[in-house]
Chains A and B, each alone.
Chain A
Amino acid sequence: MGKEKLKKYIPYTFIFPALLLLLVFSLIPILVALVISFTGLDITGLGNWSTVKFTGLTNYIQLFNDPTFLQSIGNTIFYVVLGVPLVVFLSLTVAVMINLSQNKFFKTMRLLFYTPSITNTVAVAVVWSYIYNPSLGLLNEILGKIGIAPIGWLTDPNVAKISLIILAVWKAIGLNMLIFLAALQGIPRSLYEAAELDGANFWQQTLHITIPSMRFSIFFVTVTTIIGWFQFFDEPFVMTKGGPLNSTNSMALFVYQNGFQNSNFGYAAAGSFVMFAVIIIATLIQFKLQRKQRGEE
């Protein structure tokens, strides 16, 4: 009996430290932030709690009347809608191509595509700001050579978002490619051999064997990428600060600006909960779709 009980509790002792960390550094702060999102906490309130007023839903109501926040939501959706399919498609393509062979060239390419992912975003963003520089950047220099007028990569409100997406996609391909590669290598060779015997060509094999066998890894990459892109932060933070004309501001950056630059902690907390809700909803929809797909087969 005692042994039984011990057996039951042992697993908990193993996960206890992780749970404790999760509790102290994630769950409690999230709860605290939830409470704060209903108050008008600002820098005065930090020093003197008695001045903090409970404001109910004011922050949330104000948020949805704040053109800057609404624009940030719009921008974030733009990032997700354009960026996520690009990342999934491109990293899958790269993975399939790299998987064609195991020789030195392909191994080098694998390394090359992976390098951006292990480089610090801030460092990458600084280098890309040079590339995008309107007057002396690499891109405009090349465009100038072939007679095209310079483009305001980061200074034109219509182009800046796309410039940031290009950078983020370039950076995201590596890691996802690696996940796809692992999945690709797990597909039994016998399937391809059978298909070859039946006379299927490369495209037919890719469409009917490779992609269906990778359904789970595609799902995984899509979910993590969507979550990551909803939290789009580093690129606009380092390169544009949300400008020009707020055209590159994202929800995460909006929260940062309000929380850490303007010290409107209550307002920022409310913003972060809206973001939280959006991400949860997006992820739930994904899970639903996934389950539906499985149910059909």
Chain B
Amino acid sequence: MKFKRVASLLGALLVGAFLLAGCGSNSSNNNSSSNKPLTFWYAGDGDADVKPMIKQFTKKTGIKVKIQSIPWSQYNDKLLTAASSKSGPDVLLIGTTQIAQFASSNSLMDLSSTVKKDQNLAPSKYFSGSEKTTMYQGKYYAVPWYAETRVLYYRTDVLKAAGYNQAPKTWNQLYDAALKLSKRGKNMYGFNVDGSEPTFGFMFARQNGAQLMKNGKTQFNSSQMVSALNYLHKFIQNGASPKQDLKLTIAQSFGKDAPIPMFISGPWMMSSIKSDAGLKDSQWNVAELPKGKNNTSVMGGGDLAVFQYSKNKTNAIKLLKFLSKKQSQLTYYKQSDSMPTLKAAWNDSSLQSSKIQVFRKQLNHSQPMPAVKSWDEIGQNYLDVWQKIALQNANVQKSMNEFNKQSQTLIDK
């Protein structure tokens, strides 16, 4: 009974795949269908976030667009079904981490020639980290649309009381501050080593100078990655960070006495803190990540792509170009707080608050996770390995040797 939902999903996916495998290739982009409305898949609340923009597009070009809003939690399932049945949207929003998977399943149109021809889509106009998310095996399968990067959130008043007038700038400062803050009392910590974020360890490894992959070979047991994880483990061993997710709301972890006065997260936390933490604007701030050898953060966000089996690619590309304009990205930012990927858009007056500008600076030092189709699985496996380190004090070097071998097998498969 409980499992039926999954079983029927799997069933529908596979049957759909078989039945439609044959008909998919019939699609062609003839212009006779140009009056047919385009379908745009959007993860999130499309009515609130993109409808006004889409209306403008219809007004300008006469092309009608149907927006289909799908919650992020179901988006991957939905894309899988589209990929296997070869029928789906014309234009779609796609998470930066999903590109490799769906490009490898041949579900996204190769946009390389479009990108080369159109000045407005030129890679140099975007943050290099954002641009990298759209690339798989040397070809462009999407254009960057909005950017997310991780920064350090901290409580200015709590840090000041502990003698820190500004956010830690280096790994050493971060550790010292965290340790000192954790001495404030029982159940008090300094920093959150995030055990449920699959990119966390990789991000610190990079900051320590590690290269995650070299010529298709994973490098997870390199001395730089191991010492980065040892550095993180030190926070947990010495009580500077909780061992696992405390399941606190932001008001409980960051508000009032702030049991966790420093943590690393993305721009989505801004509005949660403003609305839920009960803090004055001056009590907290964001800062660029503390430096190890560098302070590379994780680039994320969303890209726009055209579905490989769209019957209306000409119009689909028109919509994609329209949404990629600077003005559109700014409108989108105002509607949904999603930050623009176009560097030029950041000169706009709406993005000048000092907190937002911290993200702007961090975006220059942000890289996505490697574009490998099994990266999601590697990330999940990393979380398991990290749990063993954090909860059971497993040996880091040994764990990473094993994890490296396991990951390489996944990539070679």
Chain A residues in contact with chain B, CB under 8 A? 24-26, 28-30, 32-33, 36, 40, 42-49, 68, 121, 129, 133-136, 154-155, 157, 228, 231-234, 243-246, 252, 255-257, 259-265, 268-269, 272
Contact = CB atoms under 8 A, between A and B. Distances in A.
A252 B105 contact: no
Contacts of A263: 80, 101, 373
B2 A232 contact: yes
Binding site of B, secondary structure by majority: helix, strand, loop or mixed? helix
B14 A121 contact: no
A42 B101 CA distance: 10
Contact of B18 (A32, A48, A243): A32
Nearest to B247: A133
A136 B248 contact: yes
Contacts of A272: 7, 10
Nearest to B374: A262
A49 B246 contact: no
A33 B14 contact: yes
Contacts of A154: 247
Contacts of B392: 245
A245 B388 contact: yes
A190 to B, nearest CB: 37
Contacts of B12: 25, 29
A48 B11 CA distance: 19
Determine the interface band of chain B, counting residues with CB < 8 A from chain A.
35 or more
B376 A233 contact: no
Interface of B: 1-3, 6-12, 14-15, 17-18, 21, 76-77, 80, 83-84, 86, 101-102, 104-107, 187, 244-248, 252, 308, 373-374, 376-377, 380, 383-384, 387-388, 391-392, 413
Nearest to A260: B77
A237 B248 CA distance: 20
Given A43-B102, A135-B246, A29 B15 contact: yes
16 contacts: A25-B11, A33-B11, A43-B80, A43-B104, A46-B17, A46-B84, A134-B247, A135-B187, A136-B248, A228-B2, A243-B383, A245-B388, A252-B3, A256-B6, A260-B77, A261-B376
A265 B13 CA distance: 11
B247 A29 contact: no
B105 A46 contact: yes
A135 B252 contact: yes
A43 B2 CA distance: 25
Contacts of B377: 261-262, 264
Given A29-B12, A43-B105, A46-B105, A262 B380 contact: yes
Contacts of B187: 135
A231 B246 contact: no
A252 B388 CA distance: 23
A256 B7 CA distance: 9
B3 A233 contact: yes
Contacts of B86: 47
A228 B1 CA distance: 6
> Most chain-A CB neighbours within 10 Å: which of B8, B17, B248?
B17
Nearest to B83: A46
B413 A46 contact: no
Contact of A246 (B3, B244, B252, B384): B384
Nearest to A259: B10
Contact of B105 (A24, A36, A47): A47
